[in-house]
Amino acid sequence: MKIAVCIKRVPDMESRFRVASSGTTVDESGLKFDIGDFDGYAVEVALQLKERSGAGEITVVSVGPDVVQETLRKALSMGADRAVQLKTEAIPFDGLAIARALAAELGGGGYDLILFGKVALDSSNGVVGAMTAELLGLPCVTAVSKLDVGAGRGSARRELEGAAELLAFPLPAVLTIDEGIARPRYPSLKGIMAAKKKPLEVRPAQLGEQRLSIRSLALPPERSAGRIVGEGPSAVPELVRLLQTEAKVL
């Protein structure tokens, strides 16, 4: 089983974000970065598939500046076999540009599965996986919450609003991974040592034209901390009055 996992370097979403002086990026000073949440699930899925099949190779790929090597090393220390950095000055916002770079790298690579996170929480786009599949002409299932892979075929479940779909697909295929499917493992000390010797190749990213960009970033207006209407059941009449007359939602 030959598997590729596309991983993005993203800041810890618990952070308090500030807008950088450029106005179009967040200020990175003091932020902690790691593999995106969903990308971590995707790495774990790949590791479990490889362990179950007893053979195979896992390649992790990341588009971005040299700092993404740290993210790639983390995935190697979890157990991936090799890494590729597709080098850019900055990570573009336009998901189609990222998808083009990934498709150029992964096309013809002979992968049985190419895995993505469902969404990268910094951009919050949720587009790169399905776009890459389309560019490669591969079958694709998005937001996979359960997965079963057999000989040449797989089946998956994806959650909808108040419902779920069960799907069947042939390999090779592209999957984007939802949470709840697997808990990412922590790298072991042995894994961290081994990762240092695993191959990490660097190639220029072929992004192409970008037609979607960030004009400005802003922190949402703090919701003015509301009002405590009162304590216990006796506060209910006042709450209902405010919902009727002030918020006008009743």
Partner 1 sequence: MSNVLAYAEARGGELRMVALEAVTAARSLADASGVGGEVHALLVGPPGIASVAPRLGAHGADVVIVVEHPALALYNPEAVTSIVADRVTTGQYRVVLFSASAQGRDLAPRVAARLGVPLASDVVAIESAAEPLVLRHPTYAGKVVATLVLAATPSLISLRPGAITLVESSRAGRVESGSTVVDPAASRVVVTEMLEGGGAKLDLGDAPVIVSGGRGLRAAENFRLVEELADAFGNAAVGATRAVTDDGWRPHSDQIGQTGRLVSPDLYIAVGISGAIQHLAGMRTSKTIVAINKDKDAPIFKIADYGIVGDVLEVLPVLTAAIREARKSH
Ligand X SMILES: Nc1ncnc2c1ncn2[C@@H]1O[C@H](COP(=O)(O)O)[C@@H](O)[C@H]1O
Contact residue for ligand X among 84, 128, 138, 195 (CB under 6 A): 128
The alpha carbons of the chain give a radius of gyration, in whole angstroms, of: 21
Alpha carbon distance 147, 144 (integer Å): 7
C-beta of 48 vs 125, nearer to partner 1 = 125
CA dist., res. 95 & res. 101, Å (int)? 10
Give the Cα separation of 236 and 229 in Å (integer). 8
Task: State the distance between the two ends of the chain, measured CA to CA, in whole angstroms.
Answer: 57
Q: Which is nearer to partner 1, 84 or 128 (CB)?
A: 128
Fill in the per-residue mask, 75 to 114: x = in contact with ligand X (CB under 6 A), - = not in contact. Answer: ----------------x---x--x----------------
DSSP state of 90: S
- Give yes or no for residue 58 binding ligand X (CB under 6 A): no
Binding mask of the shown chain, residues 176 to 215, with x at each position contacting ligand X by CB under 6 A:
----------------------------------------
Residue labelled with tokens 């990412």: 184
User: Read out DSSP for 63-84?
Assistant: EESTTHHHHHHHHHHHT--EEE
Does position 129 bind ligand X by CB under 6 A? yes
Q: Which is nearer to partner 1, 73 or 100 (CB)?
A: 100
| Shortest distance (Å) from residue 208 CB to ligand X | 14
Q: Of 14-22, 47-55, 56-64, 164-172, which segment contacts ligand X by CB under 6 A?
A: 56-64
**Whole-angstrom distance, CA of residue 121 vs CA of residue 1:** 29
CB closer to ligand X, 127 vs 149:
127
Binder among 59, 62, 85, 142 for ligand X (CB under 6 A): 62
Helix (H) or strand (E) holding 129: helix 128-136
* Structure tokens belonging to residue 108: 């013809």
Residues that bind ligand X (CB under 6 A): 6-8, 36, 38-39, 61-64, 91, 95, 98, 116-117, 119-120, 123, 125-129
